[in-house]
Structure 1
């Protein structure tokens, strides 16, 4: 057997869909005083990570391991391979940078964390066996070294607040990982022979599955340690000392009711000012089962009675303020003059339509720095019954059924289009012109 060959395999994976770095860190990293306390503690526990926290059952995290047998599988057009790593140690985890810690106890009650790590280092023993390009065997076992650079570890969790104990707690923490560059060193690949060109041609298929196999092994350990550690901090913090009763009340459901009433009053005035109550409706030709109708001189009345419906709520998450609101308008009326033709008979008729109720659900979002409003959602959540009355059909009374259905469908489409375009634009403009209280 030839001499032991060490292959240094360098990959630049920034173009892959799993290698996306997040941009920007906050200074300070905490989005409020409570998050700042968490960030401060995390900043000062680095030495503890070397020894673990026995009282909390947290093992040493730097180095972490040795880990047991971990298998991985590669199945690409270039290579099919089964592999495993053993006795793996992960190092340099204590060298993290705290990028962001966001904690809210409002409507959303969320926790989010963003940690950066320049170098995620792992080493241990590998074993691989497979085939490349459906022809060449790929095999080997020996020591490996893995360095992953520009790592981002993100986490998200739910927060709960107990008003009786005045304490918050975290649950269901989940971590994800992203990286930019990966460097892998393997000894005795291909039986310690000199086939580095072949190995280099398939290493981009081998290295990422190996890394994610290691990460999947340690992720539950890190998740539990981070969640237990933060909950141990939170159990000693009275939330009322950090977030006042007045602030907590401001984060309750319905805290935007007064604001939305003001907004809807201005929206109603704007609807009238731009000539939407009454609103002129376009000339329309309807083909129905028994003939054709030409509708003209159409008018829609009642849009200016659009009002808040139910509770409206502000919620602040990190650098964003969200507004959740419901609106509704009752008894919209549509009036048309029409010529109805069936066969060779033509009658002039008048069409009266009443819409019992139209409701809209809206989620708006504003950045606390530039105050620009985006409507994330603006959807018609309810479109009530449409009553259609047609006067003047005379001998064509037999077409009233199919004509009524065609008119109802046309009215539904026309009114929905006005609400989802023009009314939406008016509401967004009014929201931009009225500062949000939580900004």
Structure 2
């Protein structure tokens, strides 16, 4: 059913997008196939504590331009600067908001190390040697604003990168006579070095991310139709449209209410509504989306009476439900040996309007039924739909072999076949 769309988007947002970043030297030069990269990434996330991503084109070490820091009656010149540790990141979270077209990616790094040579000179003395700056507990964040260009492909419109260390430690060797002077300015010097290299790192990250998103997005389908007629046919064939709702009875004060032979028509008119969002936390992707139906039609037999059977009225009712909306949250571990799971489902019914047939004399019981039956129908439909829908979605998810489906599709891509395989349900 609509899970095809959820899972295709879900998988593209996780493993495939990781592979896109990794394929900096893939099919174009014929040296390595996309399938090999994806297989490496799948195996990577089977580890207990995956660090970095195999094949990601992050320079490590990264060369930093020379820096110059003014001091009293002199200056400190830093050269041969290299930054180590950028590839040793852990993904903290990923959030993709399809309505706002914003992707937010955050990573953490235990340490970033800056190494280089310095030359410090004043009017009275000088010293030189190697130095080390350690940036501890670094938090990095990339926020990308996306847009769909004229041909329907996804493009990165604006990218911003920020990194922030919790602590900065510095060590200079061979200070000699300048030791006391430099020790007094270590805190401000450490901040200066970080503030100087942070824009450079951000610029490099922004440029690389933009190129990779714009390049790789053209290699994967970006269009997901708002509704699928074949899914609607499946819904009808499986007996969900028209759908017979189980009989329902309840007691409201002195009155008993019974609804029987209730039929609902139009559930196959579902289409995607609202926002689609994805988050990645603790190596688990969570996809959140909503589907809704068009106006539904229904009929039912009703009977309302005073408790004890002293007086009763019965008849038939035709009703309309403005819409049915289902919010679905599906989770998939990046360890693709695990099955996708339905985390939550929320059911919402629009306004219900009723029209009575065979009501008989318009007495106080009929008047009561006019006021109460829409709410009774609401409870009846909610009870009838929520559990079966939840059970059916999880049953379909259990059929999916995520890793097998991913590998089948990337192997097709390597052969130039863009007819990707969708999940097959029972």
Say which of 312, 317, 322 aligns to 1:357: 322
Distance in 2 separating the partners of 1:65 and 1:375: 56
Alignment check: 8 A CA contact 1:113 1:154 kept: yes
Distance 1:336 1:174 in 2: 62
- Structure 1 residue 229: Cα displacement: 1.7
State how far apart, in whole Å, the 1-side matches of 2:327 and 2:211 are.
38
User: Cα distance 1:257–1:296, how it changes in 2: closer, same or farther (>3 A)?
Assistant: closer
The 3-state SS of whatever aligns with 2:58 is helix
Say whether 1:251 aligns with 2:237: no
The alpha-carbon deviation at position 167 of structure 1 amounts to 9.8
The 1:361–1:44 alpha-carbon spacing in structure 2 relative to 1, beyond 3 Å, is same
Cα distance, 1:31 vs. partner?
0.9
1:298 Cα deviation from its structure 2 partner: 1.9
* Number of matched pairs: 313
* Corresponding position of 2:172: none
**Structure 1 unaligned runs (5+)?**
1-27, 53-59, 68-90, 122-145, 185-210
Q: Is the 8 A contact 1:334 1:352 kept in 2?
A: yes
8 Å CA contact retained: 2:301, 2:317: yes
Q: TM-score, normalised by structure 2?
A: 0.53
Counterpart of 2:18? Answer: 31
3-state SS, counterpart of residue 59 of structure 2: helix
Q: Indicate the residue corresponding to 1:230 in structure 2.
A: 205
Q: CA deviation at 1:293?
A: 2.8
Q: Where do residues 281-360 of structure 1 align in structure 2 (5 Å cutoff)?
A: 281-287=247-253, 292-296=254-258, 298-302=260-264, 305-309=267-271, 320=285, 322=287, 324=289, 326-328=291-293, 330-341=295-306, 346-360=311-325
CA distance in 1, matches of 2:251, 2:302: 12
**8 Å CA contact retained: 1:32, 1:103:** no
Q: How many angstroms apart in 2 are the aligned matches of 1:391 and 1:357? A: 24
In structure 2, the residue corresponding to 1:404 is in which secondary structure? helix
How far is the alpha carbon of 1:354 from its aligned partner? 0.9
> Compared with structure 1, are the counterparts of its residues 419 and 269 closer, same or farther at alpha carbon in structure 2 (3 Å cutoff)?
same
User: Within 5 A, what are the aligned runs for 1:12-411?
Assistant: 31-34=18-21, 37=24, 40-46=56-62, 48-49=63-64, 51=65, 94-99=84-89, 110=103, 112-118=105-111, 151=137, 153-160=139-146, 163=149, 168-169=155-156, 171=158, 173=160, 175=162, 224-233=199-208, 239-240=214-215, 242-244=216-218, 247=220, 250-254=221-225, 257-258=227-228, 261-271=229-239, 277-287=243-253, 292-296=254-258, 298-302=260-264, 305-309=267-271, 320=285, 322=287, 324=289, 326-328=291-293, 330-341=295-306, 346-365=311-330, 367=332, 369-370=336-337, 372-375=339-342, 378-389=345-356, 391-394=358-361, 397-411=363-377
**Contact 2:323/2:351 (<8 A) preserved:** yes
Change (3 A) 1:29 1:183: farther
- How far is the alpha carbon of 1:30 from its aligned partner? 7.9
SS of 1:42's partner is coil
Q: Deviations over 1:378-424 (max 9, x none)?
A: 43455133214263453x62443443222211211221232222223
Indicate the RMSD between aligned Cα atoms, in angstroms: 5.6
- 1:157: Cα distance to partner? 0.8
- Whether the 8 Å CA contact 1:253–1:312 is kept in 2: the answer is no
Q: Aligned pair in 2 of structure 1 residues 386, 233: CA closer, same or farther (>3 Å)?
A: same
